[in-house]
Amino acid sequence: MLIGLDNIGSSTYDMKRAKKEMYLNQAIELCKNLCEIKDIDEFKKVGFKRYTMNAIMEASGLKNLDEVKFLQLFTIPHREIDLLQERFESFNINLDEVKPSFELHTTTKEQETKFKQVNNLCKELNNFEHKLPHNLQYMFNGAVKLNDKSEWEVNPHYILNKLN
């Protein structure tokens, strides 16, 4: 049974994805001045510096150089490329996959029953003729929370975490 959305998880995912895309785009901008980037998937897979070095070696006909000799012969901003690679890899998000679902579902009958009870409580609290204090959520041990519209609603994390 769907009982809510993990908005914090969704926002965190969006932020991490945007940062990872930003680092990829910065690496592409930096490296495209050094070589032609024909395959972005390969660029991500083998690494920004390795892809750039391979492309330059192939274009120059020096395919069998090791990294040390290559860096002696060619001037590339390898520290900047390494830093972008490190930042890119610091986010464990696959850019090729669709955004996962952040829906929260009950997994047991007990959770469903508790959700329905707390949901009925929220309906009664919202129908009360006087405005209720915000600290009411603490009186119910976090089972209810006040949303952006100043309405009481079930805290799905309470249901899922307290009844495991």
Residue type at 78 in one-letter notation: H
Which pTM does this prediction carry?
Answer: 0.79
Q: Which of 119, 112, 105 is nearest to 154 (CA)?
A: 119
The pLDDT tens digits for 50-71 are 999 999 988 888 877 787 888 7
Please give the Cα distance from 142 to 139 (Å, whole number).
8
Q: Answer for the pair 138, 155: CB distance below 8 angstroms, yes or no.
A: no
Q: Please, what is the average pLDDT of the chain?
A: 92
Q: Answer for the pair 160, 106: CB distance below 8 angstroms, yes or no.
A: yes
The pLDDT tens digits for 104-154 are 999 999 999 999 999 999 999 999 988 888 888 888 888 999 888 989 999
